[in-house]
Chain A
Amino acid sequence: MADPLLQVRNLVVEFPTRRGTLTAVDNISFDIAEGEVLGVVGESGAGKSLTGAAIIGLLEPPGQVGAGEILLEGRRIDNLPYEQMRRIRGKQIGAIFQDPLTSLNPLYSVGRQLTETIMTHTDMTPTKARERAIELLTEVGIPAPARRVDQYPHQFSGGMRQRVVIALALAVNPRLVVADEPTTALDVSIQAQIIALLKKLCRDHGTAVMLVTHDMGVIAETADRVAVMYAGRIAEIGPVREVIKNAKHPYTHGLMGSIPAVGHDAERLEQIPGSMPRLTDIPQGCAFNPRCPQAHGRCFRDRPEPLPVEDSRVACWLYDEANALSYEDAKRAVAAKEQVSEAQLEEQANV
């Protein structure tokens, strides 16, 4: 197999402050293959969006890439000068932001914003670019595109605007789209439509997607693989079914437990005790250790690096072969806890 489309190697994003450097994304590595959808989940402040911003080269100062490298089709892009990176943005890496209401410039018609993007990256004539703009609006499901193309953003609803934003991101067929919480600002009923549209378009064009979200439902529906981030690190990364059905990291496990399921009569949703540490006081060892039910000596001492476990990579000492516990033991330990809670549930149900 050829090189993956995107390779992120030991990426560090940091914010120099007066009281020392804050590390917001700490030494993370992952790949995205051609046409693959990688979901990135995690709580607010886990570093998901910053990772996306680092990939498109638009970290807001004083944020900066402190170490590591980002490679697109084998070529390093994280250290390119602004002008070269600009040519890659939009053309090879598209981006979709959270809030469609504010992503479009209110003073220009959507057609003008589309043709501007198209003509920046190709040498189409204005007439050709306009035709292409109408074609794109048709593709993203905007009715009467020939008329709507001359309208202004304020004449579109939120969902329609996000469709326009998707059309803009995909205008010149980028190889990769970084979608940063593309549905968070939308109505629930519109969210599903937008996700379905994004998924369909990317499949049709063979575009890979890095889908940043905190909505596990969206991930389950859309992603091929999923990376779970916690306190600036990747806790677990693997095929989406594997991560959802058979979570290995205790954090992922807790995360999955906290999703309500229809038809499941639990009295209370499971929750992970405590909250994610602030960037200024990430504990020594594993960042999750204060909240982890299975934390033991080593977790408080050494930081775990992602280790291959089955098809996934998991950053947890439970799966370290050098550790006293074998993988089977670890699985049993996790399962035991699960049985306990299930037994409790059953007990409650019987009462």
Chain B
Amino acid sequence: MVAFIIRRLIQSLFVMFFVALVSFSMFQFIGDPVNQMVGVETSLKERAELRERLGLNDPIPVQFFNYITDAVQGDFGISYQQKRPVSQMLVERLPATLELSLISALFSLLVGIPMGVYTGLNRNGFLAKCFLTISLIGISLPTFLIGILLIFFFSVTLANLQPISIFGLFMLDPKIFQLPSFGRGTVVDLGWWTTGLLTVDGLKALIMPSITLGLFQLTLIMRLVRSEMLEVLRTDYIKFARARGLRNRAVNFGHALKNTMVPVITITGLQVGSIIAFAIITETVFQWPGMGQMFLQAVTNVDIPIMAAYLMLIAFFFVVINLIVDMLYYVVDPRLRIDTGKGSGHG
């Protein structure tokens, strides 16, 4: 187990090294950094001085070495546009993106897995068929469209509705269901982290972006769990578990669901990575002050230090998540724990 983790760590270092190489090469190929930083009236001499000060006259391997050593220490250079350290800007934006990703990942797991189990168990049920049809819509609609539709309904339409009388008992104002269409709402600053999870306003602001971002993953997880459940329910050990008179819950969740977990963990791990990486679209639709939005602005301004740092950060998340996924396999499946000695390795 320890040897395995060390091996995976070394592999991860290699991955990060190559990603660093790619992001570093952006500096070389996408325009001249000096041109981005100075004004039109800067003299050639001043430009040359700046070039020397930035170390751009060093041989490229030396520049790369400096870049990596700085990056390892958390220094990704200074934004061309904003003249502020990139790492500081990332730290400011990171909580917004991570909170959004975490909530939408939880949403897709906590709703997707039960729906998958349900549709797997009641294959021909009416509700199961409804879920499957709806999931098709979720899979085929583009993310931004879902976001825009949600905004249209919950932020625009509800705001214009008159209060409705419910059976003449009380008046229901549709505005209580109204949700904010942009920003994080009120956030609490914990010093190193700003969170929207502690205020009602912040939570309300999270609802629509999380649904938008998580809906595709939800339908994917639901369909995956469903097909795995159908597979596992046919196996002999499920038949035998029933023959032993185990309770339905124990058979369906203890025995069947657990056996579907290995593929589900794999996919979930990959999806959490892409939720973080592709939050860009959702963040744009909802004006979410996260890293994705910052990245898009950086692309518009050819702000290479930010783009390079973003690339490396996303790669880092992918590597960490994959490492966690690999370790979860060990927790779930005893057949992978090879170090148990006698009798292993056969069948």
Contacts and interface: CB of A to CB of B under 8 A. Distances in A.
Most buried by B among A56, A87, A102, A107: A107
Given A97-B239, A107-B332, A120-B250, A89 B245 contact: yes
Nearest to B255: A105
Contact of A89 (B236, B244, B250, B258): B244
Nearest to A86: B245
Given A102-B237, A120-B250, A151-B343, A91 B258 contact: no
Contacts of B344: 154-155
Given A89-B245, A107-B332, A117-B246, A155 B240 contact: no
A81 to B, nearest CB: 12
- Residues of B contacting A: mostly: helix
Contacts of B245: 86-91, 117, 120-121
Nearest to A87: B245
Contacts of B83: none
Nearest to B246: A120
B335 A152 contact: yes
A141 interface: no
Most buried by A among B246, B335, B346: B246
Contacts of A105: 237, 241, 255, 259
A169 B245 CA distance: 10
B242 interface: yes
Contacts of A90: 243-246
A165 B342 CA distance: 21
A271 to B, nearest CB: 32
Interface in B194-251: 235-237, 239-248, 250
B240 to A, nearest CB: 4
A249 B258 CA distance: 50
A157 interface: yes
Contact of A155 (B235, B246, B258, B343): B343
A327 interface: no
B333 interface: yes
A318 interface: no
Contacts of A208: none
Nearest to B241: A105
Contacts of A86: 242, 245-248
A154 B239 contact: no
A102 B236 CA distance: 6
B320 to A, nearest CB: 26
A110 to B, nearest CB: 11
A129 to B, nearest CB: 14
Interface residues on A, range: 35 or more
B39 interface: no
Contacts of B258: 107
B247 A120 contact: yes
B314 to A, nearest CB: 33
Interface string A215-251: 0000000000000000000000000000000000000
B340 interface: yes
A157 B344 CA distance: 10
Interface residues on B, range: 20 to 34
A106 interface: yes
A104 interface: yes
Most buried by A among B245, B334, B347: B245
Nearest to A147: B342
Given A154-B335, A157-B343, A120 B244 contact: yes
A99 B343 CA distance: 19
Nearest to A158: B347
B240 A103 contact: yes
A99 B244 contact: no
A30 interface: no
A165 B240 contact: yes
Interface string B163-175: 0000000000000
Nearest to A85: B245
Contacts of A58: 239, 242-243
Nearest to B259: A107
Contacts of B333: 106-107
Nearest to B333: A107
B161 to A, nearest CB: 47
Contacts of B250: 116, 120
B246 to A, nearest CB: 5
A156 B344 CA distance: 8
A215 B100 CA distance: 63
B243 A95 contact: yes
Given A102-B235, A107-B333, A154-B335, A56 B343 contact: no
Contact of A97 (B240, B342, B346): B240
Contacts of B243: 56, 58, 89-90, 94-95, 97, 169
A169 B241 CA distance: 10
Interface in A49-95: 56, 58, 82, 86-91, 94-95
Nearest to B256: A105
Sort A-B residue pairs by CB-CB distance and give the 8 closest, nearest first: A90-B245, A89-B245, A95-B243, A102-B236, A155-B343, A90-B244, A152-B334, A105-B237
Given A56-B243, A102-B237, A107-B333, 17 more contacts: A89-B242, A89-B245, A91-B245, A103-B237, A103-B240, A104-B240, A105-B255, A105-B259, A109-B334, A116-B250, A116-B254, A117-B245, A120-B246, A120-B250, A121-B245, A157-B343, A169-B243
Interface of A: 56, 58, 82, 86-91, 94-95, 97, 99, 101-109, 116-117, 120-121, 151-152, 154-158, 165, 168-169, 171
18 contacts: A58-B243, A88-B245, A89-B244, A89-B245, A90-B244, A90-B245, A90-B246, A105-B259, A107-B258, A108-B255, A116-B246, A116-B250, A121-B245, A152-B335, A154-B334, A154-B344, A157-B343, A168-B244
